[in-house]
A and B are shown apart, each in its own frame.
Chain A
Amino acid sequence: MAIFSVYVVNKAGGLIYQLDHYAPRSDTEMTFSYPLDLVLRPRDERVVVAFGQRDGIRVGHAVLAINGAEVNGRLTADGKDVLEFLSNPANYPVSIRFGRHRLSSNEKLMLASMFHSLFAIGSQLSPEVGSSGIEMLETDTFKLHCFQTLTGIKFVVLADPRQAGIDALLRKIYEIYSDFALKNPFYSLEMPIRCELFDQNLKLALEVAEKAGPFGPGS
């Protein structure tokens, strides 16, 4: 699973398509008895582990589910506050699932429009005239590749740093967009893409690119 996600951003910076292609991160579910030896605290809309790392549970992991029922932000499925629930000995033994939280779709929208602005800054910072925007962003766990078409649509792919052939993949995604999204008369331009065929063909293209692996040209 070397290609993690695909984002498509329209001219105005709005996210119109998003696909997560990675296997779910390892979540850890364990049964605990009172008192809990992990320190939990609320952060943003979630309850995260602040201190205490063991058995696959890391600092920063969020509480994903309690007793099998998915947690809703800081409230349990029944609407009780998670921290209160866990500080009451009567509720133990309890089974809690920890894991890295997934980005919610609102967060993705925000991040996409932030990237849209940063992309523009990339070309403004350049000492040369007529520079492109940000084409690649690298971290130690992934590389982000971005391709902007002449019409202003951006295709963003997050992949493993060793994955090769992403440029060709970005062009292929552009072709798939021009085929299955634009040639669908019921799809309106600049709106979120909800086309089955686009999804299917995109997934196929990602699989083909992954199989080519890190041995393709120009890694």
Chain B
Amino acid sequence: MSRSRPAPSRPLESLLNSELFTLTYGALVTQLCKDYENDEDVNKQLDKMGYNIGVRLIEDFLARSNVGRCHDFRETADVIAKIAFKMYLGITPSITNWSPGGDEFSLILENNPLVDFVELPDNHSSLIYSNLLCGVLRGALEMVQMAVDVKFVQDTLKGDSVTEIRMKFIRRIEDNLPAGEE
């Protein structure tokens, strides 16, 4: 299985081994399952945790990638797929299924580093294993004044051929806009 390294902004030695990352994420999800016993609650917690990561990750992303503000949802989709995913997970999902109004699209991930080596057992059929990613995207975009809805519509863990994340633009967050952005 080939995993391309993200463009290093730090020396290669300091990039974390992706197996350790997979193991860490797996340990997190299994512990949450033990703590909450109910798949829906685990999904919610993963989303919350992802949100907390997202609000911090966005600053790191902006500091390192120097992208300017996106002025429409298509630009946003491009930046997310081609720069952000590449920087943090080393993969470049493809963007498809644009809605006619241009406010929804799908990200198709051929391989998802979070789920290497993972199989979902039958008693956790409604668990959205990678739900952290939805929270991350939601939190990060909220910090740049975009309210979005993110959810998984296909998941390789549930037998689908690809993993598909659907992102929908809800509205621009108008309160507390930084000066000059009106």
Name A's B-contacting residues (CB within 8 A).
11-12, 119-120, 122-124, 130-133, 148-153, 171, 174-175, 177-179, 182-183, 189
Distance, CA A152 to CA B55, complexed state (A): 13
Distance, CA A183 to CA B61, complexed state (A): 12
Contacts of A132 in B (CB 8 A): 180
Q: Select which of A150, A175, A178, A182 is within 8 A of B178 by beta carbon.
A: A150
Name B's A-contacting residues (CB within 8 A).
55-56, 58-60, 62-64, 66, 68-69, 143-144, 176-181
Contacts of A183 in B (CB 8 A): 56, 60
Q: Select which of A12, A149, A179 is within 8 A of B62 by beta carbon.
A: A149
Contacts of B58 in A (CB 8 A): 151
Structural contact, A151 and B144, CB atoms closer than 8 A:
yes
Distance, CA A104 to CA B179, complexed state (A): 27
Structural contact, A122 and B59, CB atoms closer than 8 A:
no
Structural contact, A178 and B60, CB atoms closer than 8 A:
yes
Structural contact, B178 and A151, CB atoms closer than 8 A:
yes
Distance, CA A148 to CA B60, complexed state (A): 14
Q: Select which of A11, A12, A148 is within 8 A of B180 by beta carbon.
A: A148
Contacts of B59 in A (CB 8 A): 149, 151, 153, 174, 177-178, 182
3 shortest A-B CB distances, which residue pairs?
A123-B180, A120-B179, A152-B178
Contacts of A123 in B (CB 8 A): 179-180
Residue of B58, B62, B144, B179 with highest tally of chain A CB at under 10 A: B179
Structural contact, B179 and A119, CB atoms closer than 8 A:
yes
Residue of A124, A153, A182 with highest tally of chain B CB at under 10 A: A182
Contacts of B69 in A (CB 8 A): 150
24 A-B residue pairs with CB within 8 Å: A12-B176, A120-B180, A122-B179, A123-B179, A123-B180, A131-B180, A133-B180, A148-B178, A148-B180, A149-B178, A150-B62, A150-B69, A150-B144, A151-B62, A151-B144, A171-B63, A174-B59, A175-B64, A177-B63, A178-B63, A178-B64, A179-B60, A183-B60, A189-B55
